[in-house]
Structure 1
């Protein structure tokens, strides 16, 4: 028998912020879903329109604007850099090397040889006065700090600790739940939109596309074959026969009026045989 006593478990108390989270989450998510659903539908429609416009309208416009900007800005800037800024930079470099550096050396000599000794003399005369002024400002600053701490800092700390911090925590919980509800509602609205799209696509296919395909296959195609075989082909044959008859009638009329056309006499164009050569007489 185990003589040691088991420590009794203390009942866990639920934090009040957890109760607030549970009480806020469900109604907030339901309300946000009902608000976000039409917004998601509008967003998907606008996104589709934006993709279409971006692909077929904005992209060509942007390319054209890019070419125009290249011609109006880049090419003039390149010319300006090559023919104006580069010579100006070389001139400034020459000025710096030939003028500014000697002036700088002269000023350095003046500072080291003249101004520094004068400064040491002035510091040795003004140091006690400066220390007294610094001590006075230090005492004044200490007094002002203590007064501001009593009048401003301590009340501000109390206001932050007992009022603003609890209100900020509650507001943070509410904003967090609203944000999570917006995310869940946005995803759920996306599922609803996709499901509605699939349902509308199926209805369109069964109401319009499948009946149209059936009518085309079972009605229009046989009717078209019948019209082709019974109407178009005989009409084409009749037209060709009428054309041949018209041509034959025109030929008969021409022979009746003008007689048979004269046939050209064949000319012997063969070269003479033998060793004799051709002359102008024959």
Structure 2
């Protein structure tokens, strides 16, 4: 509310003439365009709030109640009654006992099958292994071990110690001597001649050839190439570089003064000032249009509220005030007159007539059937007490023979 009642902002000092010239026409045009929109917006908003408060919210509550009453509760009751309860009863009364019986039956059947399997397949084989196969196997193993020991192991050990070991040692000595001789012969035939040839012939000849080739390469290739580089190629390269540099300088100067300088001058003195001016104009126009829209929207709100208050005042003075005056001046006194002059006497007369009819009916009943009997009260039963015999015991006397005076 306070934001909508703000006064328009004053012009800021230092603004240009363009801003001052654009602001007022733009705000007038925007105000003319925005006021109908704001009026329609406020009317639609008020209508929407009224419809939501008076129609949509009760309708939604009613639909929710109808959905809960007509759909959710019947479906839930139907589900519980037709599905859950029968399934629970079926599970509790049928499936559970049947499952327990099947489990007991399967358990007994499993125990019987296990016992039968052991009796048919386990116990006979265990007895056969324990009382037949194991003793026979032990005896056979003892016999076979004795035979292997005295028929194989003892002769093999004697043969190894007495025959094979001396023969093997002799063969090893013979082969070792033969190997030493063959190695010496191989060195004498294949290694030492080639070593002498390399050391005393090929190496000196290779060194001489390498020295000759190096001298020839130095004085036939390196020295002429160095002279050619220093005396011919270097001056020619420097001349080519100077020529290329001069051509590049000339071309750069021509491009600079023919293309770059005019383009820079065009950008600096024409395009950039024009762009700045255009940007300033567009910025001012856009800013003023946006500010005008905001300001005019607030002003349109004030106008819309004023129109609404005016219409409310007119409606109050045209309809509400007369209706209130008629109700207060005419209908209220008339209602009081009707209540005090007609309704209360009529109600009192009706009450009196009803009481008279009731009394008349009671008198007729008493005359025809007599007065109703009053209920008789039952006599009170006296409390039971001890009999007053002369021989009763009291605090000051005794009935025993020892203490009697």
With structure 2 as the length reference, what TM-score do the two structures score?
0.35
With structure 1 as the length reference, what TM-score do the two structures score?
0.48
User: Which of these two proteins has the greater Rg computed from alpha carbons?
Assistant: 2
